[in-house]
């Protein structure tokens, strides 16, 4: 499909796989991170994720430089337990324009796929 290096990360994404950084083996399904992330053209980022029984939701800003995305000023939404750090660095490795592997602060890897519609818009 060609190399979509530097593609825009704007859009809605679903986590399809979660693994420790540099590992080909996924986390156990009971501790694997699942959920969604939406990056808006306005510079806003929304995240809704779950690990085990812990549910996390946050909103913040994003900046993309080529294949690097920085999420900044992440603030918990609702009853979130504050599990998101305030700032997160994402390194993107594109598989195609709709599938990307994301290194999160070089601690873990998320395989993500574009999803439609936006999971944050109520039907």
Tokens of 53: 């029984």
Instruction: Answer yes or no: is 64 within a domain.
Output: yes
Based on the structure, what is the number of domains in the chain? 1
Instruction: Answer yes or no: is 40 within a domain.
Output: yes
Domain that holds residue 44: 11-114
Q: Cα–Cα distance between 94 and 16 in angstroms, integer? A: 14
Q: Does the reported pTM lie above 0.75?
A: yes
- Looking at residue 7, its pLDDT comes to 81
Q: Report the CATH number at residue 72.
A: 2.40.128.280
Instruction: Answer yes or no: is 4 within a domain.
Output: no
- Looking at residue 91, its pLDDT comes to 96
* Dihedral, CA of residue 66, residue 60, residue 49 and residue 52, to nearest 10: 110
Low-confidence ranges of the chain (pLDDT < 50): 1-2
């Amino acid at each position: 499909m060609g190399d979509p290096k530097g593609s825009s990360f704007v859009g809605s994404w679903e986590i399809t796989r979660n693994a420790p950084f540099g590992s080909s083996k996924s986390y156990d399904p009971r501790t694997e991170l699942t959920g969604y992330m939406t990056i808006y053209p306005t510079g806003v980022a929304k995240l809704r994720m779950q690990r085990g029984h812990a549910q996390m939701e946050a909103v913040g800003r994003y900046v993309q430089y080529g294949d690097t995305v920085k999420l900044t000023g992440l603030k918990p939404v609702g009853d979130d337990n504050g599990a998101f750090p305030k700032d997160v660095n994402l390194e993107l490795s594109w598989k195609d324009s709709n599938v990307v592997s994301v290194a999160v602060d070089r601690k873990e890897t998320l395989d993500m796929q574009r999803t439609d519609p936006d999971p944050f818009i109520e039907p």
